[in-house]
């Protein structure tokens, strides 16, 4: 009996020990229940990291776009500057050419002063004809313009109390039934171009280039002309040497 009791007690202890051992072996299983919570936190961290990476990529793209826009603007500015420089150079060249042309015209006019200043000389004599020899329409034109000497100069005026240069010439030739253009530019090409060394009374003198003249007057013979000069002097009679003309046209 003692052996049986002892065996029973030992068997009970062995079962209890085995149960306790089994219970201890199962403890790690209860710890894995916390893994879903750790996985959720990790997912949140990964999501935040992904958002940050995406924002960084967006920032890089925005900066790249800004850099591209700045480069394009700089390229356009460089092109605009080059175009402006080219345009300025062309304008400077045109201005220099115009200045050279004006200087040449002034030199040409100055070269005529000696010839036109002395009607008594051989060249001057060929460039002048006495008013007394003018007849017909030429005499009528000359008589009219001389009668206007002393009247006022008014831009756009065609008489009878005031004239501008082309207004006086137009009105003078209207007296003999000849209709001339209104402005000096057109009057300078209204007739046949004649040499200043072969002027006749009644010829129209012009200053500037034919077709772009800025002043006109009437040659009255003896190396003299009559014209509406400017607001300060009005209609005057002056020698050709006072202001040598560029050219002349003949309509009579």
pLDDT, tens digit (0-9, with 9 covering 90-100), for 3-43: 454 455 445 454 444 444 444 545 555 555 555 555 667 77
In this predicted structure, what is the pLDDT of residue 168? 98
pLDDT in tens, 51-101: 888 888 888 888 888 888 888 888 898 888 888 888 888 888 888 877 777
**Domain-located, residue 39:** no
- What are the contacts of 92-100 at 24+ separation with CB within 8 A? none
Q: How many domains does the chain have?
A: 1
218: pLDDT strictly greater than 80: yes
Enter the tokens of residue 82.
């080059």
In this predicted structure, what is the pLDDT of residue 78? 87
Enter the tokens of residue 40.
């959720």
H or E element: which one contains 215? Answer: strand 215-221
In this predicted structure, what is the pLDDT of residue 195? 96
Highest mean pLDDT among 29-38, 45-54, 211-220: 211-220
**Domain-located, residue 209:** yes
Reduced to 3 DSSP states, what percent helix, strand and coil does the chain have, rounded to the nearest 5?
60, 15, 25
What region, left, alpha or beta, does residue 71 occupy, with left being phi > 0 and alpha being psi -120 to 50 degrees?
A: alpha
CB 116 within 8 A of CB 196: yes
Q: What is the DSSP secondary structure assignment for residue 202, as one 8-state letter?
A: T
Q: Specify the pTM.
A: 0.52
H or E element: which one contains 169? Answer: helix 165-174
Q: Which residue has the tokens 């009528």?
A: 140
CB 157 within 8 A of CB 234: no
In this predicted structure, what is the pLDDT of residue 248? 98
**Domain-located, residue 237:** yes
**Domain-located, residue 35:** no
**Domain-located, residue 84:** no
**Domain-located, residue 101:** no
**Domain-located, residue 26:** no
216 is in which domain, residue-wise? 112-250
pLDDT in tens, 178-187: 999 999 999 9
Q: What is the DSSP secondary structure assignment for residue 128, as one 8-state letter?
A: -
Poorest-confidence range of 35-49, 115-129, 204-218, 235-249? 115-129
Pairing of strands 162-163, 152-153: parallel
CATH number, residue 246: 3.90.1720.10
117: pLDDT strictly greater than 60: no
């Amino acid at each position: 009996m003692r052996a049986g009791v002892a065996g029973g007690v030992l068997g009970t202890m062995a079962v209890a020990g085995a149960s306790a051992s089994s219970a201890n072996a199962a403890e790690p299983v209860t710890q894995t229940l916390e893994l879903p919570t750790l996985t959720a936190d990790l997912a949140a961290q990964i999501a935040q990291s992904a958002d940050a990476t995406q924002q960084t990529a967006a920032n890089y793209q925005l900066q790249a776009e800004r850099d591209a826009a700045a480069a394009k603007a700089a390229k356009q500015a460089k092109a605009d500057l080059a175009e402006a420089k080219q345009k300025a150079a062309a304008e400077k060249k045109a201005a220099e050419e115009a200045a050279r042309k004006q200087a040449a015209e002034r030199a040409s006019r100055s070269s005529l002063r000696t010839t036109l200043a002395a009607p008594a000389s051989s060249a001057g004599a060929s460039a002048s004809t006495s008013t007394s020899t003018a007849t017909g329409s030429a005499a009528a034109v000359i008589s009219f313009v001389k009668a206007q000497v002393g009247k006022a100069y008014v831009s756009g005026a065609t008489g009878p109390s005031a004239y501008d240069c082309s207004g006086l010439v137009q009105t003078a030739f209207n007296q003999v039934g000849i209709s001339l253009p209104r402005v000096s530019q057109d009057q300078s090409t209204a007739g046949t171009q004649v040499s200043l060394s072969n002027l006749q009374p009644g010829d129209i003198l012009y200053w500037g280039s034919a077709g772009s003249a800025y002043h006109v007057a009437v040659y009255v013979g003896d190396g003299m002309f009559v014209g509406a000069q400017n607001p300060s002097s009005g209609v005057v009679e002056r020698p050709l040497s006072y202001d040598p003309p560029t050219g002349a046209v003949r309509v009579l």
